Amino acid sequence: MSKTRQTQATAAMLAIGDELLSGRTKDKNIGHFAEVMTLSGIDLKEVRIVADEEDAIVEAINALRARYDFVVTSGGIGPTHDDITADAVGTAFGLEVTEHPEAVELLETYYAGRDLDFTPARRRMTRTPVGATLIPNAVSKAPGFSVENVHVMAGVPNVFQAMLDALLPTLPAGAPLISKAIPCPYGEGDIGDPLRDIAKRHDGVSIGSYPRFAEGRYSTEIIIRSRDEAAIEAAATEVEAMLDSLASR
């Protein structure tokens, strides 16, 4: 089913924060990142959510960066004591974490211009593993950073999105996946068997079916994905013929 994706760049995301695991905050970054990856032709393969605990963050970063082309993290880079992502990334790479000179200059100027003290807490947001590259933050200045293939970004959704916009041109691009949606008034129980047969005959495409349950009955959206438009059309023709034959039962 995923054959068409194997030559695309692969990505993983690590969302960091106790508040996500307690249910207090509903994550909005994963869905956004997933959409942007699909539009960019990059294959998001795995997402993890872990607590603000250094061991858990280090382990997840090391597992994901070894396995996928790159990793994006969200959360834990603010100025409070529970913001430990920079330290965890340093530990994961065996790098010392220090104030990044460019980040210090950036925030010094920013806070001076707003008549705010550059407190030790705010200075915390300039800390990165040695040698990191900054990721600009168009919303509130305090930058994210990249170390090798790990890109560390904020958890606040509009800041995460701004950082991702800045990061995107530097990421490996792939041929975008094309998809075709076919609405289907039948539940998966009706279309499961014929759909499986069609999928077997069309190796170059991925055929997914996504059930909805509303007002006491199922309906389905059938999504055909490929990087080859002709292959999508060939499969779509068979799916539509199958739906027609169900309608005339």
Instruction: Pick out residues in 84-123 that bind a second copy (CB under 8 A).
Output: 111, 116, 119-122
**CA 163 – CA 165 distance, rounded (Å):** 5
Token pair 């508040």 in the structure block, residue: 19
Q: Which of 9, 95, 97, 139 binds a second copy (CB under 8 A)?
A: 139
141 binds a second copy (CB under 8 A): no
CB-CB neighbours of 142 under 10 Å? 19
173 binds a second copy (CB under 8 A): no
Query: From start to end of 65-121, where are the E strands?
Result: 70-74, 97-99
Query: Please, which residue, 241 or 246, has the CB nearer to a second copy?
Result: 246
Pull the structure tokens for residue 99.
Answer: 């104030």
For residue 11, give the 3-state DSSP assignment.
Answer: strand
78 binds a second copy (CB under 8 A): yes
209 binds a second copy (CB under 8 A): yes
Task: Report the half-sphere exposure of 173 (CA within 13 A, side-chain side).
Answer: 8
Under a CB-based contact definition with an 8 Å cutoff, are residues 88 and 57 in contact?
yes
156 binds a second copy (CB under 8 A): yes
Segment contacting a second copy by CB under 8 A, of 93-101, 143-151, 163-171, 199-207: 199-207
Total residues at interface with a second copy (CB under 8 A): 74
204 binds a second copy (CB under 8 A): no
235 binds a second copy (CB under 8 A): no
